[in-house]
Every structure is written in C-alpha cells, then in structure tokens.
Amino acid sequence: MSYQVKEIQTKPFEGQKPGTSGLRKRVKIFQQEHYTENFVQAIFDAVDPKGKTLVIGGDGRYYCPETVQTILKIGSANGVAKFIIGKDGILSTPAASNIIRKYKADGGILLTASHNPGGPNNDFGIKYNVSNGGPAPESVTNKIYEKTKSISTYKVIELPPIDLGKKGFSTYGPTNVEIIDSVSDYVQLLEDIFDFPLIKNFVQSRSNEFKVLFDGMHGVTGPYGHAIFVDALGLPESSVQNAIPLPDFGGGHPDPNLTYAHELVERVERDNIQFGAASDGDGDRNMIYGKGAFVTPSDSVAIIADWAAEAIPYFKKGGIHGLARSMPTSAQIDYVAKKKGLECHVVPTGWKFFGNLMDAGRLSICGEESFGTGSDHIREKDGVWAIVAWLNILAYANQQSPNELVGIKQLLEKHYAVYGRSFFSRYDYEEVSSEGAQKLVDALNEHISASSLAKTTHTSKSTGQKFTVAEVSNFDYTDPIDHSVSKNQGQVVRFDDGSRVVFRLSGTGSQGATVRMYVERYVPASAGPAELNKDTQEGLKGLIEVALEISKLREFLEREKPTVIT
Ligand code: VG1
Ligand code: CO
C-alpha cells in the first residue's frame, strides 16, 4: 500500500513531565487534540526509533486501543522498523518487560496508569521502557520532557487502523507489525522459574485445608491468573475472581491493598481461604492475604529473599546476587541480607532505580512497600510472579514439615522469631492542596537546615512511649553503576531507637498533591511472640502520634485522617 508521511503543526502542552512511572493524566487531557500525539512524538525525538523494534502493550484501560493506533501512525512515520503488539493491544507491565527482553526489542511503549482508576473520567498513562525491559531512567524521561516543551510538529502516516484482534504478521506503511498472544510467553517464563509440579501437588493434595483465591480486580491479570491458577495448577474456576479485564476496571480502584481489595479480604475471611492474592490494573503489584494474616509488602520481599535459594529453582540454580528495597520500604529485608552476607541496596522510590543494579549482576530480589515485589527475571515488578513465589515457598515449607499445615501466618511468625520485626505502615493523604503539601515540605526542610528537631524528645499521649529524634535528613541517591544523582527523594526523621518516619510527595497522582507518610519501628526477636505478633497499627500507635505531632501534618494539609492506610 502506498503511504505518505505528513507533518502536522502543533504547540507544546504544559506538564508533560513523566512522574515516578510515566506520564499519567486524566483521559480527558490525553483526548485533547494533539496532546497524545505530542507526547508520542517527543518520545521519538528523544530516542531515535529509526530501524528499531518496539513493543506496544497496555493494561486494557479506556483509551488504550485508540492510542495503539496513534503510536502506529507516528512510529511508522518516524522510521520504526517493527512493532510487536500484544493481542487487542494488551500486555501486563511484567509481560511487556518480558517480551522486550525475549524478542530482543529495542524498547517499548506501555499504556497504563497502573493502579489508578480507569474509564472516560479517570486516568490514562504512557510509559517508555528501554531495551533491558525496564522503565526508562531519569536521563531519558528528562529528555522526553525537554522535547515536549519545544515541539512544533509531529509526523504521521495515515492508513486504515490495524486489526489488533488478529494474531500474526502484517505491515503498516513501511513498518512491520507482529501481533502476539498476550499470555503464553509469560506463562512459559513463570514455568521456567518456579517449581510448578511441587506447587500443583501441594495445592491439589491439600485442597480441603488450603484454598486459593486470586483476584484480578478487573485489571489486566485476569487471563494470566486464569492460565496459571486454573489451567497450569489445576485449581477450580472459583479460585479466580474479577478475572475479566474491563476498560474501567468495573468502576473500582484496581489497587491491591486492604482498602481497595476488600472484596478479596471479605471472601478470604468468610470462606476460610488460606491463600488469597490480588494484583493491580497493569499487573505489576500484588497483595498476599490469607485468613487472619496480611503480609506487608516489606515483609513479603524479605520472606521471599529468605527462602528463595532453597525453594525456588531459578534462584537455586542461579544464586542470589544482592537484594534491594526502595528507601521508604522497611528494613526487614536488610536483616535477611545481613544474615546471608548479601549486599542490600537502598534506592529511591520507583522501579527504574533497580534496573542498573540488575544489569550489573548485583541484584536478584527487590521490593517496594507499595505492593511491588520482583526479581531480575525481568525489569519491572511482577505481581503474579510474587504470588506464585509465595505459593512455591509455602509448598516447599509444607514439604519440609509434612505434619502441620504451614500457612501464611505460620510463615510470618517463624520469620519474626528469627529476624525480629519491623512494624511498618503507610498513611496516604490523597488530593490535598499543593500549597499545603509544599508547606509541610518547607517546614521539614527548615528543620533539616536548622537541626531544630535533633535531640528533642516526644512522648505519645496514648502509649506513654518516648521517642528522641536522632536526625532529620533528605534522601539523595547516587547510582552505584552510572553514578547519576537523584536528589530530594524523601525526608527522613530518624529516632534514637532506630524507628523512622519518612515523608514524600507522590509522583503518580493526576490531580492536586498526594502526601505519603511512612512509619517504621523495629522490635527485636528477643521481645518474644506477644510483642512480635501484635497488630501493625497497635505496634505503631505511639510513633504515629509523635510523627503527626512533630511534622504538623494535619495542620498543613487540613486533614484529620489519611485517605488510605496500608
Ligand atoms: C507509587 C509508589 C511507588 C511505585 C509507583 C508506581 O509512586 O509509591 O513505590 O513504584 O507508584 O507503581 P508514588 O510516586 O505515587 O509514591 V505502579 O504499580 O503505579 O507502576
Ligand atoms: Co502497577
């Protein structure tokens, strides 16, 4: 078919700066004339796509199909050699990372706003990933942002849209197009990593006492979950719920935490389910929740790191080369690293900061407190991977102790008895005024420069606990591999007893400002089970009171209570 490259005149839009994980805005903003086109052209202006192979995949949310066609038009006009696209434009974020690596593509464009709600009145997002399969580093996202500020034209080739529902090869103008199955490569990947026969044997032989429930939250992972839990592990259909992806996620908030995944939590409790798990809109987050036992993400990554070399074939074979966490994540994994003599890196928030360490062979397993867990099998966090990792570990632990049922609760208690426990919780204040958030940040910065909080002691009114501030600081990070520096990644108040409170502004919201407060208190193993196995909010009560008081957060944000507690 003949084709013609057209140049369309445009003007820059303000605010096309990628945040923690891509550009996220309301759908209505992306739908403005030239808005999406500008950002896509800016990507191609920043990373020359001539002769390159790029992957396209989205989480199926509203506006994904249209945007795939936009990328085809602009990408072909900019000289992309080949696009590999998930069927119907769908790939979970971890599946897209895998496809980029497996098919040796030069990068990819992911269409997702992750756990943010979808639909015509909610959020959409575009994220660029590089050839290692991971999110573009700040050097690239800054370049894209610079291009959005000076853009004056974009190029298109106008041809009839490609049928995204038909697998196989075709062309769009000068560009080759391959539409692939969205699920099969990913299932293959997990089967190569985990001990599927062991898991299958365990879940089937103990099916009366160990029920499994996976909740796709109407996000992208439904078909992946079905293929793994029902088809590969032979669990009943009733062990997956909300497994049909919907463009508006059924009107819900596809974020797997105790607030938004309440449907899972309720069914787990009602039906006596030993193992429940959920994943977010684009499939990179996970929550592990069994009857009466919630696993904080900080504990989850520590426990996976603790058992992996013994229980999971991928690590048994390849070994573990270092661990890592994002700065606000609790130090639970540090204790595991210390005992095992492994490096443990602390990076800023956002998965992009793990990539260099993985590529350098210095990082195998890592996590973020925000329900993100993963490993160097790909370069994104991976919700279904984490869920199957837990099943693999439980199957192995039960093989070791055949006379008792080792469930999530038992595994947690065993872990705390060895390592002690870092109680951890995050308070989110969503869509507060930007001025209030700035005042909070400014006040903390003043404390940092004047050292005015150091050595002051604060008493909790309800528990009587005393906390003395050791230091207040800003977290800056220098990447150990490429030495790039990222400044102001959160303000940290450290106390004498090792407790800590972190304040950070979210970089993924699409409206106003979101303030996150992260609270952590360590209790050593010697404290005994009564202290170690307390409820999280109970264990942190005094510290939270003190944190709110010294930061004056409630006054600055004019909010009595957080929007979400995790
Ligand atoms: C949040 C989380 C962060 C995570 C990011 C993307 O960022 O805190 O840990 O990497 O979301 O997750 P922020 O800047 O809002 O705190 V996902 O599942 O939205 O790609
Ligand atoms: Co996500």
Cα–Cα distance measured from residue 228 to residue 438, given in angstroms and rounded to the nearest whole number: 45
Query: Would the pLDDT of 445 be above 80?
Result: yes
Considering Cα of 503, then 509, then 514, then 518, what sign does the dihedral take? negative
Which residue in 114, 370, 486, 551 is the catalytic one? Answer: 114
The stretches of 368-520 forming alpha helices (DSSP H) are 383-400, 408-419, 434-450
Q: Which ligand is nearest to the CA of 372?
A: 1
Dist. CA 377 → ligand 2 center (Å) = 17
Average pLDDT over residues 455-480: 90
Quick check: do 5-182 and 186-419 share a fold? yes
* CATH architecture for residues 421-565: 2-Layer Sandwich (3.30)
Q: Average per-residue pLDDT in the chain? A: 94
Distances (CA, A) of 327 to 138, 362, 412, 460, 476: 17, 18, 22, 26, 10
Which protein residue's CA is at the shortest distance from atom 17 of ligand 1? 114
User: Is pLDDT at 33 greater than 90 in this prediction?
Assistant: yes
- Stretch 516-526: mean pLDDT: 93
Q: What is the pTM of this model?
A: 0.92
In angstroms, the CA 287 to CA 296 distance is 8
Residue of 17, 20, 566 best suited for mutating to test ligand 1, as the one with most atoms within 8 Å of CB? 20
d(CA 387, CA 161): 37
SS3 82: strand
Q: What percent of the chain has pLDDT over 90?
A: 81
Give me the DSSP letters along 457-494: EEE-TTT--EEEEEEEEE--EE-TTT--EE----EEEE
pLDDT score of 511: 73
77 compared with 436, residue with greater pLDDT: 77
pLDDT tens profile 262-279: 999 999 999 999 999 999
Q: Is the CB of 507 under 6 A from ligand 1?
A: yes
- Report whether residue 430 contacts ligand 1, using a CB cutoff of 6 Å: no
Q: C-alpha distances in angstroms, 13 versus 7, 16, 37, 150, 479? A: 18, 7, 11, 9, 31
Residue 127 CB–ligand 1 contact under 6 Å: no
Q: Over the Cα atoms of the chain, what is R_g? A: 23
| pLDDT of amino acid 316 | 97
Dig out the tokens for 26 from the structure: 């309301």
Among 312-321, 355-364, 456-465, the range scoring the smallest mean pLDDT is 456-465
Does 370 contact ligand 1 (Cβ within 6 A)? yes
Q: How far apart are CA 14 and CA 19, in angstroms?
A: 14
Report DSSP state, residue 161. P
Q: 5-182 — its CATH code?
A: 3.40.120.10
Nearest-CA residue for atom 10 of ligand 1: 350
CB 323 within 8 A of CB 364: yes
For the Cβ of 368 lying below 6 angstroms from any atom of ligand 1, the answer is yes
Distance 471 CA to ligand 2 centre (A): 33
**Residue 489 burial (CB count, 10 A):** 21
Please report the pLDDT score of residue 26 as a whole number.
95
Three-state SS at 280: coil
* C-alpha–C-alpha distance, residues 191 and 314, integer Å: 10
Buried b vs exposed e over 207-227: b needs ≥16 C-beta within 10 Å? eeebbbbbbbbbbbbbbbbbb
How far apart are the CA of 382 and the centre of ligand 1, in A?
Answer: 13
Q: What is the dihedral of CA 187, 190, 196, 199, to 10 degrees?
A: -110
Question: What is the whole-number distance in angstroms between the Cα of residue 383 and the centre of ligand 1?
Answer: 13
Write out the two tokens for 202: 């365990």
What distance in Å separates the CA atoms of residue 185 and residue 377, rounded to the nearest whole number?
Answer: 13
Return the CATH fold of 186-419: Alpha-D-Glucose-1,6-Bisphosphate; Chain A, domain 3 (3.40.120)
Is 554's pLDDT higher than 70?
yes
Beta pairing, strands 365-368 & 421-432: unpaired
Q: Which atom of ligand 1 is nearest to the CA of 281?
A: 18
> If you measure from the C-alpha of residue 255 to the centroid of ligand 2, how many angstroms do you get, rounded to a whole number?
8
**43 three-class SS:** helix
Query: Which one of the ligands is nearest to 503 CA?
Result: 1
How many Cα atoms occupy the beta-carbon half-sphere of 26 within 13 Å?
Answer: 8
H or E segment to which residue 374 belongs: strand 372-375
**CA–CA separation, 106 vs 104, rounded Å?**
7
- Region 164-174: mean pLDDT is 96
Residue 369 pLDDT level (bands cut at 50, 70, 90): very high
Nearest residue by C-alpha to atom 20 in ligand 1: 114
Ligand 2 geometric centre to CA of 278 (Å): 12
Closest residue by Cα to atom 16, ligand 1, is 506
DSSP 284-314: -BEEEEETTEEEPHHHHHHHHHHHHHHH-HH
d(CA 375, CA 491): 27
Task: Give the DSSP H or E segment for 142.
Answer: helix 138-150
- Ligand 1 centre distance from Cα of residue 508 (Å): 6
Residue minimizing CA distance to atom 11 of ligand 1: 508
Residue 160: the pLDDT is: 94
Annotated catalytic, 506? Answer: no
Q: Whose CA is nearest to atom 6 of ligand 1?
A: 21
Regarding the beta carbon of 221 and ligand 1, being less than 6 Å apart is answered no
Q: Domain ranges in the chain?
A: 5-182, 186-419, 421-565
Tell me if residue 12 falls in helix, strand or coil.
coil
Q: State pLDDT tens for residues 74-88.
A: 999 999 999 999 999
Is the Cβ atom of 285 under 6 angstroms away from ligand 1? yes
Ligand 1 neighbour 116 (Cβ under 6 A): no
Say what the pLDDT of residue 1 is. 61
Per residue in 206-248, pLDDT tens?
988 999 999 999 999 999 999 999 999 999 999 999 999 999 9
**Does position 6 have pLDDT exceeding 70, yes or no?**
yes
